[in-house]
A and B are shown apart, each in its own frame.
Chain A
């Protein structure tokens, strides 16, 4: 009798364990709650700044002062966006920024792809040494070389407020994080089966044909990731733009990020042209501009969000295939 209840207890215990924690094949309730709970919690943490920004940017001045309207604006108003568009000279800056980000991105992707392919596919003397140099150029801080680089470009008369310095550095594989891109391509091309390229060679394919017909089509996943990253890096960059273009010029090339970092000053100068005292200016900054600054921030990352939205499906899938992991 006692034995039987013991067995029954054991069965009951196992059944509950299966329901709550689950088996190898199926998850129980507790595991599910834990996993989804964590995921949703982290998703909230990740999305919180964006949501905060969006909510703030849509609020009117009255809502900002009203503590009860913490999240949802009482009346959605686009006035902040209208103002921010004027302050940032949005459409013109957007066009220039796209030009300034897209061209170096394409150059960098192409050059890094071919260099990574060269490192992965061919053996040549000093290859190990050059790989070491590549790693070193990635690990050491850019600041150590950025000043001499600038002086060099200046001596070559390339820093004339045009896209030239970006073009030269990206075409020579020294753009923003180029070394990382080369490493991504290197890892990827190392995984492409050698037999395929050898077979192509036997069939009479030369250097260019085997690169463009086999290596490039096979590395679309890596190309996608590098294009996305590089575009983002160039879009968000302010150091290089400040260095090469001398920061903000009224009619020169500029980026939305530069406009954004000078946003408060520009706004205050526009809204209160008579006040130049820094005290008043900073006070305006802290109380009034919050929503408009958020609208400006939202506007400057909007193109990135759209770009990501278009590419994300391929991006998230291609991440699975690409060997960034470097083994």
Chain B
């Protein structure tokens, strides 16, 4: 309603560009100028180049030269012909995502709620839980998993193996991976804890008190207040998790290793990169559709009423 009115207004009285507005524009553009140049060169231009690589043959002779292909998707067809492991890797990527995303996000929410409650040594606990933000990347993780420090010693590997032998391989393998690197997965939830924590602190305490007075118990307040108010954070965290989990892995290694391989090269690598980009976009789309805010108007309305009453 309001929006429509605004649009109508804008039509009736076309905006005059004043000197003041011009100055604001200039200041705005001045602020973002470095980024604007950077995004132009290192993102937009490189994107176009990368697409060109994927749809042409790259010949390296005194610089990069492009030659047209026999047919448009030749590089992509080549990728699937030469990289026989790619479909398996894609399958692994997807199952890993399906397994890890809920674990990381729900674990982060639990930890954030624990850290947000009235506890002693809050600073100390927080320091421990933010620690992975510092070290949970790169070769350190590889070295630690290599030394078997990534799995919890309390879970016996044999019991797990016998239990998993009931299931077919494509389910059993990811689950085994999941358990053997459970700590490393949990280590990846540092930033997510942080986001949930700062979100939880913004939920007005009066909401919980009002619910208590109305006779709601902890379980009910969790589902009726915490989860709805945390929904934007859940979406944000899910997106963040997908992005960071996708930033490394076997497909990424494949992209960087094929660049220098004979008979593959830039075009090949660029084609894989674009397949991967498409895959991530699809996952993000699914995440977005799952966690977006649907008809939350009711909840907001009720919250407002509760706040007013309180």
Contact = CB atoms under 8 A, between A and B. Distances in A.
A118 B128 CA distance: 35
Contacts of A141: 246-247, 252, 273, 276-277, 280
B19 to A, nearest CB: 14
Contacts of B131: 46-47, 50, 308
Interface string B279-309: 0110010000000000000000000000000
B133 A229 contact: yes
A255 to B, nearest CB: 10
Contacts of B39: 130, 133-134, 137, 173-174
Given A52-B147, A174-B42, A316-B126, A261 B139 contact: yes
B187 interface: yes
Contacts of A118: 27-32
A293 to B, nearest CB: 6
Contact of B31 (A52, A122, A290, A300): A122
Interface residues of chain B: helix, strand, loop or mixed (majority)? helix
A125 B280 CA distance: 30
B114 interface: yes
Contacts of A142: 247
Given A122-B28, A304-B134, A49 B255 contact: no
Interface stretch (B4-12, B73-81, B197-205): B197-205
A149 B125 contact: no
Interface stretch (B44-52, B82-90, B161-169): B44-52
Interface in A85-99: none
Interface in B118-146: 118-119, 123, 125-135, 137-140, 142-144
Contact of B42 (A117, A145, A236, A297): A145
Interface in A221-236: 229, 232-233, 236
Interface string A37-67: 0110011011111101100100000000000
B235 to A, nearest CB: 10
Interface in A271-320: 290, 293-294, 297, 300-301, 304-305, 307-308, 312-313, 315-316, 319-320
A257 interface: yes
A270 interface: no
Interface residues of B, number: 91
B186 interface: yes
A238 B31 contact: no
A257 B41 contact: no
B57 interface: no
B100 to A, nearest CB: 16
Contact of A46 (B43, B187, B284): B187
A145 B32 contact: no
Contacts of A127: 28
B274 interface: yes
A312 B233 CA distance: 23
Contact of B43 (A111, A133, A182): A133
B64 interface: yes
Contacts of B212: 24
Nearest to B136: A236
B259 interface: yes
Nearest to A312: B127
Given A137-B39, A143-B273, A320-B198, A115 B31 contact: yes
B37 A172 contact: yes
Chain A: number of interface residues, binned into ranges: 35 or more
A1 interface: no
B172 interface: no
Nearest to A34: B114
B99 interface: no
A119 B32 contact: yes
A49 B42 contact: no
A192 interface: no
B209 interface: yes
A171 interface: yes
Contact of B134 (A115, A139, A308, A313): A308
A115 B39 CA distance: 12
B220 interface: no
B152 A137 contact: no
A304 B140 CA distance: 12
Interface of A: 24, 27, 35-36, 38-39, 42-43, 45-50, 52-53, 56, 111, 114-115, 117-119, 121-125, 127, 130, 133-134, 137-149, 151-152, 155, 169, 171-174, 178, 182, 207, 229, 232-233, 236-239, 257, 260-261, 290, 293-294, 297, 300-301, 304-305, 307-308, 312-313, 315-316, 319-320, 322-327
5 contacts: A147-B269, A149-B42, A260-B139, A319-B197, A324-B198
- 9 tightest CB-CB pairs across the interface, nearest first? A118-B31, A172-B38, A122-B28, A173-B35, A124-B28, A148-B49, A145-B46, A148-B46, A236-B137
